[in-house]
Amino acid sequence: MSIGMILILLDAVWTYSQNRSVSGGNHWVFLSLILIFFIYLIGGIHTEDWSFYLERLRLKLPFLLLPIAFLFIKPLQSKTYFFLLFSFLVLVSLGSVYCLSDYLLHFTERNENYLKGHVLVTPVNHIRFSLMTAYAALIGFYLYRKWLALNLKFWAFFALFLGAFLLVFLHVLAVRSGLLAFYLAGFCMLIYDVYTQKRWLRGFSIFLLFISLPIAAYYTFPTLQQKVSYMRYDLNNFFYQQEKRQLSDSRRILSWQVGIQVAAEQPLVGIGIGDVKKKVFEIYENDYSDQPKTEWMLPHNQFIFVYAGLGLFGVVLFLVAILSPFLYKAYFLRDELFLAFNVIVWSSFLSESTLETQLGVCFYSIFLLLALAYLKNRK
């Protein structure tokens, strides 16, 4: 990932050395993402744990460098943008085939593991992979419509096949972050389609399909059944028996509570982004000493993480940074996939601190900037 992002930066330097100009379009929309880096930079003013703080800054460097790089890259034409999306669709599909192969080879064992909170073997972190799968599935349906309109029937139906395959796989994988992201984003794409095309009957038919699909998947795929059973057991233990150990949902909810407790110390400006880990672990040690250290977690919610480290002031700036590219000149009305991508990432912020991992930062920054490079000259 680092090499890929560095190559994008070098490509921008080369392009600028040849043209000595910034590409056309709305420049400040790209630069609004730099705000994410700067609010983390400012959040270190009163930090004591410099090691953790510098690690946070290193992870946010793409938000500083990539938006600048994309200013000098030529606007993406439809052909190039669709090719990049299709490449991603194929790569995620190959990764899904790998996961399914392992699942079929160890069918009984993998199904039993779901009752213990485990999931299938995935090429990268299973939560991030589920988000990538959800996005790739929607790319398949998106390219089907675009290429069918261009009379590229073979490629249109191939993209549709891959999208449908990934949708099925997403239910087999049964990672809730990916499923929630897909259905929220898919529903937004449906509203977009009905609004722009005025095809009410087709929209209602797809809506009925959306409702019936997860129900049918539940009675079809054992992994999804096991995941639902485990979730019920986990939440029942947390809310009624106060059991917080070694159960994924219980640990996640507890991390939210601890994060909010940390934020309460300095609700306006936060405790400093570098001190979040130290303060969180102090609360675990003092208030939840029965919790093993291996189960201590940073807040699994991007907004709570920012709230704890940067306070309400930081949360407001963070919202400005992620909403600006989406709202500027109604960018969300220029392309339904752009709308879906933002919904996917934002939904992940509710249950994960997505931007505190390299893969999360890379996924968000690259695909958002690619979409902006494609959309900035489109009406």
Distance CA 365, CA 362 (A): 5
Q: Which distant-in-sequence residues (6+ apart) come within 8 Å of 229 by Cβ?
A: 115
Are the CB atoms for 277 and 314 separated by under 8 Å? no
Query: Using H for helix, E for strand and C for coil, what is the string for 306-349?
Result: HHHHHHHHHHHHHHHHHHHHHHHHHHHHCCHHHHHHHHHHHHHH
Question: Which residue is it, tokens 């990432």?
Answer: 345
Residue-wise pLDDT tens digits, 209-243: 888 888 888 888 888 888 887 777 767 776 666 55
The mean pLDDT value for 33-37 works out to: 92
pTM, two decimals, is 0.92
Kindly indicate the confidence band of residue 339, based on its pLDDT and cuts at 50, 70 and 90. very high
pLDDT tier at 245, thresholds 50, 70, 90: low
Query: Quick one: pLDDT at residue 222?
Result: 87
| pLDDT band at residue 20 using 50, 70 and 90 as cut-offs | low
Q: What is the pLDDT of residue 169?
A: 95
Confidence of residue 26 (pLDDT cuts 50, 70, 90): low
In this predicted structure, what is the pLDDT of residue 92?
97
The pLDDT value given to residue 81:
95
Q: Which one, of 81, 181, 175, lies nearest residue 120 by Cα?
A: 175
- Count the helix, strand and coil residues of the chain and give each as a percent rounded to the nearest 5: 80, 0, 20
